[in-house]
Structure 1
Amino acid sequence: MTEAFEGREAGIGIRLAVEAEAVRRLATEARGLTALGPAIDRIDEAARLRDRVALAEAELEFHTNLVELAGDRFLTADYRAMGDRLQRIFSDDGRSLSTLDGLADMHRALVRAIASGEPDAAVREMRAHVLDEERLAGPADPWLDAVARGRLAGAAAGVEHAVLERLLAPDRCVEVHVSAQLADGTTAIVTGWRVQHDLAVGPAKGGTRLHPSTTLAEVKALAMTMTWKCALVGLPFGGGKGGIRIDPARMDERGRRRLIRDYVTLLAPVLGPERDIIAPDVNSGEREMAWAVDRLEALSGRSMPNAVTGKPVALGGLAGRRAATGHGVAAVLRRFASARWGREAGPLRVAIAGFGNVGQHLAEALDGDPGFRVVAVSDAAGARYDERGLAVDALRAAVARDGTVAGAPTGRPMERDAVLAAPCDVLVPAAVGGVIDADAADAVQASLIVEAANGPVTAAGERRLAARDVTVVPDLLANAGGVIASYFEWRRLHEGDRELARRRDALLAEACDRVIERAPDLADLRQASLQLAIDRAAAAHLARGAG
């Protein structure tokens, strides 16, 4: 096992892979499940007494018995071989006392899912169960979640163990420290990262975000997602992502320009059109990309327009780049709406939680389509709702004028977060990650969720949604229109907006069809998408002689 996965991350990943297979087999035959009862009773008693030692022993007993009940000596041997690592997983407990009371019920829910006799549903419950345990044990770790999901999907896709281990470890993580000039005249030393997750298919590709809560774990997880996203839609890129931990509101334009140029200077040895192509992300855009390409060209002494995408048109940027992600989300939404309800359904009510660049262009793409009507939108300052459909032009005009939809002269006002629970058929979270957790999921009225943002549905939320037959189209498919447009810009293809949009939608349609073929019941589209993507990425490693 590679050094990158020593410790808790490796243990959780192996737990997911082994327990998933055990649960799948148990759900097929549903035998001997009553043997798990005594361990659950001990979990309940230990939680009531707040006895963490006894609780760890009872949880270990439950999960070990679960694997043994599957009746496969190889699975049992793999699980027991974890030995001390399993002990550390269950003993390294940072859970607050208030979270212990529901642990026994979590384990009972898992047993009920196995007893239902539906292997796929049981595996989903198991995965959510393990990830829920991890979240209760401490702060959410996006990298841990990404590794766990990747390991489970890779194992289900039949990827060789050695190849999967290599795929789950990032190729390179670079940390830099930059002096930032703040608007108040002070200076701060800030940390930045660039992660190149996998370079077997081609150069890394991914955005650079500026945010005060950015972490290396987040950047690594997003880089991994970019690998899967590019593989799923067939682009010759690996995944990359950058981040700088700073609040950009504390800098004026001069300070931002210096920050970006210094960040690029430190990373220049690993950047370039055949190494790693950077792009905009949270709190960065065309302006920042112009500064980045200017600095790279000054350092290299040559023209490098395709070292950066998302540039202004005057510097070789793609005219339709800003609309590409939102319009791509619309294409994916239409395909999965058709798969769920048929081509004649409609008009379907759409709620968009987040009316920034992606949300606005999604609404623009759906406006005038007789199959859909946008009934709710929100942004950081407020929301609007109208069952009959909102006037999209009025919403966009309000944003241009006031910076928010809150006072738009269409529909009625509603609380910002209420959009997630608005009466609708399709919900599109298009702002930030983690907004649909277990509690929010219970209030969702939509039957189809399309993840325009990165990671808006948590693992616990997805479990609740699956139990209610709510279809979730994952981010790595739903918002891939942006990276497809970046590919066109990298290739320096300027064939007109209409032709490039046609080519983008063709790539998305092909990916959607493959995912639907893998999961025709539209259940767990995330795992279906990951399996297809990881299988394609693994093929590149095998072609290079890995294994």
Structure 2
Amino acid sequence: MIETTMATAQRQFDIAAELLALEPEVRDMLREPRRELIVHFPVKLDNGRVRTLTGYRVHHNITRGPALGGLRLQSSATLDEMQALAMWMTWSCAIVQIPYGGAKGAIVCDHRELTSGELERIIRRYVTEITPLIGAERDVIMPDLNTNEQTMAWIMDTYSMHHGYTMPSVATGKPVQVGGSQGHGQGTARGLCYTVRQAASKIGLDLAGARVVMQGSGSTGRLVLQFLAEMGCRVIAASDDNTGVVAETDAGIDVNTLIEHRVNTDGVANLAGTKPISHNELLELPCDILVLAAGQNDISGANAGRIQAKIVVELANGPITPTGDSILANKQIMVVPDILANAGGIVVSYFEWVQGLQEFFWTEREVHGELATTMERAFNEVFTVAQERFVPLRTAAYLLAVDRVVRAMAMRGIYP
């Protein structure tokens, strides 16, 4: 039986808590979110009917600063999943030394069934419902699954209208015309590629010609493919929600052709120069780098023994179960964990937050340069802990992140 997402997050935390010998009361505080808000709100649709939707906003820990977390539109969203994602955000922020805590939010809906006007009304009503929790110094919202810069602009505008003046730093990932940062849309993808570069250097892997398998090819995944190709990597297989394809020759798949086909057809099926492959077969292909950019629990005890990659990188949250982790570690496959690999978006969100508060904006080159420095430093700090403690990168990342949060909690104490 596959455990819940929150159970997976808690098991990952428990491993670090045991190695850090945390007191039981400290563990209890960090195993559960600090607060959870569930809202049910009506929205008028274009046809005049009223539909009641459910929304979530979860804060895991805010000891190190305001909460930061994405807002997603997802018909299958659950409170359990938001709890886990908020916890992972806490650890990500701590790993990259960003002064935030973890949050996550969702509106339960299928965005594909809604018009632009309906989406705007839904977002604005959701923001109104959660206004007591959010703010530039309380909880900063960023894009996530099925939300984008337009969504963030609506969020910022709604919150600002409630307060009577423009408050840009309540949301990040906004259009540059309303206080967004240069380079934000590329932050997650670039950040992941910087960690791939560092990981490859640690195991002596030359990225020139390195074989890449990409599980999932959404907007961020396509950027990852583009940047890895620019680094010299060779993409040999890719997938979407429904199917996968593998290159018919050793030359691999032309990334520009793949991206164009994916955008035009909303999938990878029937891509020239490829043949179909199942999702399970794709994960088990011999390759140098396997990027997991789809769902959760895709590598588990059932298939981890057949994974043949040298480096597995988690773009998605929670794609490997704890049992799968253990098997990959025994096979000496390096796993770059989600809380490190996909933290680039968090870093650039922080840059945007700072720029908005200061009303002083950076160039795209400055953003990319600071992002590279931050991600490379974070990877090397995690790698050092892994070497010193003889543990996998995920455990090392948790040791580093949890310790930083616990130290901050100890310094602040408990009020009253």
TM (normalized to structure 2)?
0.92
1:544 equivalent in alignment to 2:380: no
CA RMSD of the aligned region, Å? 2.1
Deviates more, 1:177-186 or 1:459-468: 177-186
- Matching of residue 354 in structure 1 with residue 213 in structure 2: no
Distance in 2 between the 1:195 and 1:344 partners? 41
The Cα of 1:234 is off from its aligned counterpart by 0.1
Match of 2:92 in 1: 229
> Which residue is equivalent to 1:383?
244
Whether 2:358 is the aligned partner of 1:528: answer no
The match for 2:136 among 267, 273, 281 is 273
Give runs of aligned pairs for residues 63-102 of structure 1, distance below 5 A. Answer: none
User: C-alpha separation between the residues in 2 aligned to 1:183 and 1:438?
Assistant: 47
Structure 1 CA distance for aligned equivalents of residues 171 and 338 of structure 2: 23
Q: Which amino acid aligns with 1:263?
A: Y
- Computing the radius of gyration over CA atoms, which structure comes out larger, 1 or 2? 1
8 Å Cα contact 1:183-1:250 kept in structure 2: no
Output one character per residue of 1:389-416: Cα deviation in whole Å (capped at 9) or x when no partner: 2211111121232222323334444334
Residue aligned with 2:298, SS: coil
Q: Shift of the alpha carbon at 1:484?
A: 0.4
Would the alpha carbon gap of residues 351 and 494 (structure 1) be closer, same or farther in structure 2, given more than 3 Å must change?
farther
Q: Figure out how many residues of one structure are paired with residues of the other and give that number.
A: 408
Deviation at 1:422, TM superposition (A): 2.1
1:58-457 map, 5 Å: 136=1, 140-181=3-44, 186-340=49-203, 342=204, 344=206, 347-370=209-232, 372-386=233-247, 387-457=250-320
CA contact (8 A) 1:394 1:410 kept: no
Q: Structure 2: which 5+ residue stretches go unaligned?
A: none
Please give the alpha-carbon distance, in whole angstroms, between the structure 2 residues aligned to 1:447 and 1:510.
Answer: 22
Q: Distance in 2 between matches of 1:224 and 1:378?
A: 28
Shift of 1:248: 2.0
SS at structure 2 position matched to 1:170: coil
| Structure 1 equivalent of residue 384 of structure 2 | 517
Q: Which amino acid aligns with 2:363?
A: G
Deviations 1:155-200 (A, max 9, x none): 3124344333323332221111122445776443222111111111
Match of 1:437, SS? coil
Contact 2:58–2:83 under 8 Å retained in 1: yes
Quick one: distance in 2 between partners of 1:157 and 1:220?
A: 23
Distance 1:523 1:373, change over 3 A: farther
| Alignment-mate amino acid for residue 484 of structure 1 | V
Q: Against the structure 1 CA distance between its residues 295 and 345, is the aligned structure 2 distance closer, same or farther, given a 3 Å change threshold?
A: closer
Contact 1:211–1:246 under 8 Å retained in 2? yes
Distance 1:178 1:253 in 2: 18
Task: Give the aligned residue type for 2:269.
Answer: A
Distance 1:152 1:519 in 2: 14
Q: Is the 8 A contact 1:163 1:541 kept in 2?
A: no
The DSSP-based 3-state class of the residue aligned with 2:387 is coil
Task: Check conservation: 1:384, 1:410, Cα contact below 8 A.
Answer: no
Partner secondary structure for residue 427 of structure 1: strand
Instruction: Report the secondary structure of 1:460's partner residue.
Output: helix
Q: Letter of the 2:238 partner, please give it.
A: V
CA distance in 2, matches of 1:184, 1:459: 47
Residue identity (%)? 37
Within 5 A, what are the aligned runs for 1:30-49?
Answer: none
Q: Higher helix proportion, which one?
A: 1
Q: Does the 8 A contact of 1:211 with 1:244 survive in 2?
A: yes
Question: What's the offset of the Cα at 1:335?
Answer: 0.9
> After superposition, what is the alpha-carbon deviation per residue over 1:212-243, rounded to whole angstroms, capped at 9, x for unaligned?
21111111111111000000110000001111
Match of 1:473 in 2: 336
Q: Take 1:359 and 1:509, find their aligned partners in 2: how far apart are those partners? A: 20
Q: Secondary structure at the match of 1:350?
A: strand
- Matched AA of 2:395: Q
Contact 1:175–1:194 (CA under 8 A) maintained in structure 2 = yes
- Could you say what secondary structure the match of 1:527 adopts? helix
State the distance in 1 between where 2:206 and 2:289 align.
16
Counterpart for residue 44 of structure 1: none
Q: What's the CA shift for 1:447? A: 2.2
Question: Following TM superposition, by how much is the alpha carbon of 1:523 offset from its aligned partner in structure 2, in angstroms?
Answer: 4.5
Q: Which residue of 2 aligns with 1:98?
A: none
1:506 aligned onto 2:368: no
Name which of structure 1's ranges 488-497 and 203-212 shifts more when overlaid on structure 2.
Answer: 488-497
Q: Would the aligned equivalents of 1:194 and 1:243 in 2 still touch at CA under 8 Å?
A: yes
1:201 partner SS: coil
Report the Cα offset of residue 273 of structure 1.
Answer: 0.3
CA–CA separation in structure 2 for the residues paired with 1:405 and 1:523? 37
User: Is the CA contact (8 Å cut-off) linking 1:380 and 1:416 kept in structure 2?
Assistant: no
Query: Amino acid of the residue matched to residue 376 of structure 1?
Result: A
CA contact (8 A) 1:182 1:250 kept: no
SS for the counterpart of 1:400 is helix
Letter in 2 for 1:517: T
Report the Cα distance in structure 1 between the residues aligned to 2:46 and 2:324, rounded to whole angstroms: 40
The match for 1:41 is: none
Q: Distance in 2 between matches of 1:182 and 1:409?
A: 41
Q: After superposing the two structures, state which structure 1 stretch, 406-415 or 272-281, moved more.
A: 406-415
Give the counterpart letter for 2:258 in structure 1: L
1:343 positional shift = 5.7
**C-alpha displacement at 1:381, in angstroms?**
4.1
Cα 1:155–1:388, aligned 2, differ >3 Å: closer, same or farther? Answer: same
Unaligned runs of 5+ in 1: 1-135
Q: Secondary structure of the residue that 1:406 maps to in structure 2?
A: coil
Counterparts of 1:495 and 1:546 in 2: how far apart (Å)? 38
